[in-house]
Amino acid sequence: MCMTVYASNMSVLLSSEEGWILSHLQYLNEIYERVVLNESRICSLIFNEMIFEINSQYLRPNQIAQILQDDAVSHSKKKRKRSQLLPERDLEEVDHVKQTFNAMMSTAKRRGLFNRNISLDNNEAARLASQKFYQDTYCLKDENLYGSNDTNNAVISEANNKKYVFPKKCTFYSYDVRDIEKKMELNNQYDFILLDPPWWNKSIRRKKMKFAEASYKMMYNEELIKIPIRKLLHANGIVAIWCTNSSNNLNSIFNEIFPSWGITYRAKWYWIKVTQAGDTICNFNSAPGKQPFETLILGSALEDNKVNIPDGKLMISVPSAVHSHKPPLTEIIKEYLPNEPKCLEIFARYLLPGWTSWGLEILKFQHLSLYEILDESKRAESDAEYKRSENERD
């Protein structure tokens, strides 16, 4: 397998025919490398890296206790699981993803990625940072807002008496998705539309009842069908939708949502979540249950084969500790789009340079409390440290 290092390509650390290794944290830091703080001051912003301090698999207290049980109990549990295997087609899919992942990670580690001395503490720092994020942003009510930054620099500005950072050339709508036809021009303008729907989920519903600050508004699939994707999408455009591994949700995309939108299915990609040591955040599972990956389903407005999107690509990254804080796709999707594409994200959780974003939680990750402001001297030190680490890796 031939892989290439893209150290200067924002989020992409490595690329191959099988997929990409991404750094969400590096992307956030690079898009805010030059920020206009006021008319006379330029600064850089560094995102709170603790949110990405994923150093080990996530274990709940009951899982830790289970690990400490004797071999006989563990053996009996495993035996029961083996009697509930996934369907053969799903087993083949999981095995394909696992084998491709192992091959990519083997090459990545030879290139010096993920070879860090990791202190295993069940992600304590990330958990605390995530809790603080929910607590700090729970009361932020940024609904019914519209705005844009038309300049070529990221800027810091105020909304509702709170300070936020806005990436360059961005536009955002903080409204309920049901209002999209009232607020946006439906003139088939977007080359790429990305959606991260709040799928109806029983476990999230339980979390909502227990921790209100960790919840978000879920939607039934029947409501997703009503989003006017075909009226927003260019004739040659591409649609991508994040999905859990729920067979019900996947079947709904293939059999109901895409057909209702007038979209033809093209490919399925996999986002593999890893620790800073390069291990999956949970094991690949042959039984129904949690997998270390989520899927991205891609389709196009065209029924012919002019839209060439490869199937089975892997996207590997250390995930954020905050729910639904997905990695950026800007750098990997652009090779399938025209130059200077118009991109729209629906149910967006953060803003992207050059994109239009729609979502009720659109500004939470833009809040200035999540960033450290670097003055010119600190910025120079940070750049030097980054270059030293890159040279050591090479």
Residue at token pair 């031939």: 2
- Burial group, residue 337, by CB count within 10 angstroms (0-12, 13-18, 19+): middle
Compute the Cα dihedral for 175, 177, 181, 186 and give only its sign. positive
Q: Cβ distance 55 to 385 under 8 Å?
A: no
Per-residue pLDDT tens over the stretch 325-350: 999 999 999 999 999 999 999 999 99
What is the reported pTM? 0.86
Enclosing H/E stretch for 297: strand 293-300
Walk me through the domains of the chain, giving residue ranges and CATH numbers: 4-393 (3.40.50.150)
Per-residue pLDDT tens over the stretch 35-60: 998 777 899 999 999 999 999 887 66
The reported pLDDT for the residue numbered 122 is 84
The reported pLDDT for the residue numbered 215 is 46
The reported pLDDT for the residue numbered 214 is 43
The reported pLDDT for the residue numbered 79 is 45
Q: Which residues of the chain have pLDDT under 50?
A: 1-8, 67-68, 70-82, 204-215
Q: Cβ distance 169 to 193 under 8 Å?
A: no
Name the CA dihedral angle for 319, 325, 331, 335, rounded to a multiple of 10 degrees.
Answer: 110
- Number of H helices and E strands in the chain, helices first, is 13, 17
